[in-house]
A = this chain, B = another copy of it.
Amino acid sequence: MDPSQVDVPPLKDLTIDNITDNVKLINSQCPNPRLKYILERVVQHLHDFARETRLSHDEWMTGLLFLTAVGQICTDVRQEFILLSDVLGLSLLVDSIDHPKPPASTEGTVLGPFHSHEAENAPNGSQIAHDPDGEPCLVLCTIKDTQGKPIGGVKIDIWETDSKGFYDVQYAGREGPDQRAVMESDKEGLFWFKAIVPVPYPIPHDGPVGKLLVQLKRHCYRPSHMHFMFAKEGYDHLITALYLRGDPYETSDAVFGVKESLLIDLGTVNADQAKQYGVKEGSKLMSYDFVLVTEEGSRKLREKNAMEATKKLGLKMKLWNGLPVPDVD
């Protein structure tokens, strides 16, 4: 680099009190207003955190080595940074901000680190879980819009653990995907499949995040649930899950995913259903009516919430690609 091109505000003699403004100043050349705002806030919070806690050099190093370990344990099928975000409640918060739901619609929840792109397409009625020790569960669901109109052609990603509480990707010697599928709703907005009754399970706790939970005296369990993800053009992407009411971890989910509206009671398959769906009478039944919001409706609500919330925080903002940036004009 030609040093004559150095064209940044001069810095010198940085102190505890002026370092933050200086770092912001040097970052302020960023041409992307959104990235500039995000970095401005990252720097302010990082520095405030260090000043408030009087962070020691040893603690700083412990933190950096912790983050390094979190990064290094990540693989194609394990994302420890998502898990860290989950146990700190950040994932739930970001989902709530990005996918606001009007009262009549289905709430979202955490994606978790175990969604994979390996799931096979499965027609209605498929057996998606093959663990012989799992308790059979018929799943009957509908998808509607906020006016109650069925939505067909929705791509639905479904994933759950086996009866031992492990996802397929957690087995080193696995032969292929299991307990997961990609389905499509029919013209009546229906989709149905055969799975197993979800069980509680520990999040992966053999890595740095698990060690952190031990230090915090927190358990690493999630209550029984099944994941669902819905995608169709024109509709807001919905990542959610259904939780079994009465689970021992219902009110202490390690990743803060449970919501009242997503708690369900399992039913029992009656004689007619048994005949119609080809399952045993008396077996477990999970049913739910999902309600999707349009992309347009979600965008408008998100932008309205963003402007209201930032105004409430005393910030003068404008929207840039749908996201707030400081209004400096």
Contact = CB atoms under 8 A, between A and B. Distances in A.
B94 A23 contact: no
A198 B9 CA distance: 24
A-B pairs with lowest CB-CB distance, top 9: A71-B71, A3-B248, A10-B251, A23-B89, A45-B45, A64-B81, A54-B306, A29-B217, A57-B98
A280 B251 CA distance: 76
Interface string A293-324: 00000000010011001100101000000011
Nearest to A219: B1
A42 B256 contact: no
Given A50-B97, A55-B94, A67 B67 contact: yes
A104 interface: no
A271 interface: no
A252 B30 contact: no
A260 B88 contact: no
Interface residues on A, range: 35 or more
Contact of A53 (B29, B41, B89, B218): B41
Contact of A30 (B12, B15, B72, B216): B216
Nearest to A20: B89
Nearest to A7: B252
A237 to B, nearest CB: 8
Contacts of A35: 215-216
Given A13-B259, A72-B74, A202-B1, A47 B90 contact: yes
Interface in A218-246: 218-219, 221
A55 to B, nearest CB: 5
Contact of A252 (B11, B93, B218): B11
A310 B52 contact: yes
Contacts of A260: 12-13
A167 interface: no
Contacts of A1: 202, 219, 221
A36 B3 CA distance: 46
Given A52-B315, A57-B99, A259-B14, A217 B79 contact: no
Contacts of A64: 79, 81-82, 85
A215 to B, nearest CB: 6
A106 to B, nearest CB: 14
21 contacts: A3-B221, A3-B248, A6-B248, A11-B256, A13-B258, A14-B256, A19-B89, A23-B88, A23-B256, A27-B218, A38-B53, A43-B88, A45-B48, A46-B88, A50-B97, A51-B97, A51-B313, A54-B98, A54-B310, A67-B70, A68-B81
